Amino acid sequence: MIALVQRVTEASVSVDNRVTGSISRGLLILLGVSKEDSDEDLSWILGKVCGLRVFADVAGLMNLNLASVEGEVLLVSQFTLMGDCKKGNRPSFHLAAEPEVAKKFYEKAILGFKSLGIRVQTGEFAAYMQVRLVNDGPVTISLDSKDRGKKSA
C-alpha cells in the first residue's frame, strides 16, 4: 500500500464540477492499494500518517502531528500509484488491487481515520477527479507499507 502524503493549507477534490471533499489545514493523502496488501498494511499506513510530525511547532520545527494541530485529512483513492514503469514508457497496473478489493481498503481507511478522531473528507472511488491543493512547504512524504520493518541507514 502506498500513501503519498502532502501537507496542505487547503485542498479539495471534485467530480463533474461537484466538490466531494474539501479541507483546510491538514493532509491530502493519495492512497494506492496493491494486490498483496493486507489489513496489516493498512494499519501501518494509518499509524504512520497519524504519527507523522510534519507540522511546525512554535519554534518552526516539524514536531507536531495531525492531531496536535487539529488537522483534517482529504483521502483520495489513486490506483496509478501502483503503476509499474520498469519496462517501456506506458505504466502497467498489474500490481494494483482489483477495484472491489481496493474499495474495501479505501473504506476501511476512512473508518480508520475517523475512529482516531480525525475529520476526513474524500474523493469518489473509481471516479475521474480533479484535485486542487496548496502544498504547504512544500512537504510531501511517500509511505510504502512494504518498507515497514526495514531499517534505514
What pLDDT digit, counting tens, does each position of 71-86 carry? 999 999 999 999 999 9
Cα–Cα distance, 84 to 64 (Å, whole number): 34
| Close Cβ partners of 132 (under 8 Å, ≥ 6 residues apart) | 11, 12, 13, 14
- Residues 12-20 have a mean pLDDT of 97
Q: How far is CA 34 from the centre of its chain?
A: 14
Look up the CATH superfamily of 2-144: D-tyrosyl-tRNA(Tyr) deacylase (3.50.80.10)
Domain ranges of the chain: 2-144
Cα–Cα distance, 114 to 5 (Å, whole number): 17
Cell matching residue 139: 512537504
Residues 73, 7, 142, 92, CA torsion sign:
positive
- Residues 102-109 have a mean pLDDT of 98
Quote the pLDDT of residue 153.
Answer: 53
143, 45 Cβ separation under 8 angstroms? yes
Quote the pLDDT of residue 148.
Answer: 85
45, 89 Cβ separation under 8 angstroms? no
What residues are labeled active site?
80
- Residues 45-57 have a mean pLDDT of 97
| Close Cβ partners of 17 (under 8 Å, ≥ 6 residues apart) | none
Could you tell me the pLDDT band of residue 151, with boundaries at 50, 70 and 90? low
Number of H helices, E strands in the chain: 2, 8
In 2-129, DSSP assigns E strands to 2-15, 18-23, 26-32, 55-56, 62-64, 72-77, 119-122
Could you tell me the pLDDT band of residue 149, with boundaries at 50, 70 and 90? confident
Looking at the chain, the whole-number percentage of residues with pLDDT higher than 90 is 95
What DSSP designation does 1 have? -
